[in-house]
Each structure stands twice: as C-alpha cells, then as structure tokens.
Amino acid sequence: MESSKKADDKRKGFHCLSAWDGSDRQLVDAVKESLRDPSSFEHDETRISPVNAEGLHFVIMTFRAKNGFGGTNVGSATGMVRQSDCRLMNWQLVSS
C-alpha cells in the first residue's frame, strides 16, 4: 500500500517539492536571482500539477519581496519541472 501512495505522490509531483516548506528549490533560487533584493524573498505557496504526457509538471509559486521603493509586493512565478529528476526546465515571472 505504501508504494502505491509513493507512486501517486510522484505522479502528482510532490516528490519535487521541499518537505520543509513545499517549495521548488530551483524555482526559488531562479526567482531570488532576478530580484532587486534577494534577501527580502519570502515563499508563500507552491502548487504543482500532475505529470503531463511529456513527463513534465507545471508549477506555480507565490512569494513576497521588496520592491524598489522599499514596499513589499506579492509576486508569482510559473515553470515546468521534469518528473524524472525534478529539474526546472523553464520558468517566468508572472506580472500582476
């Protein structure tokens, strides 16, 4: 029964997310590198889709970070993660 749950979790993409905070570390790192103040990054939530026919998971992450004026904005980023090794294949910031 346990292996069935593991297989289901892998199909859903949960194996690619951090057990600690539910984030995709590669997406977090990519977004941080693009920020004006990377140290202000705060992960909010990451959602991942079940694997598609190409062996990829769609992932969307919301986060908070300081803007150029010192205020905090909520942002989001999307990407595609390969199921076999959880590698982030591509990503983009989503404008609000």
* pLDDT tens-digit map of 20-62: 999 999 999 999 999 989 999 999 999 999 999 999 999 999 9
Dist. CA 7–CA 35, nearest whole Å: 36
Give the span between the Cα atoms of 31 and 61, in whole angstroms. Answer: 10
Q: What is the pLDDT of residue 2?
A: 56
pTM value is: 0.90
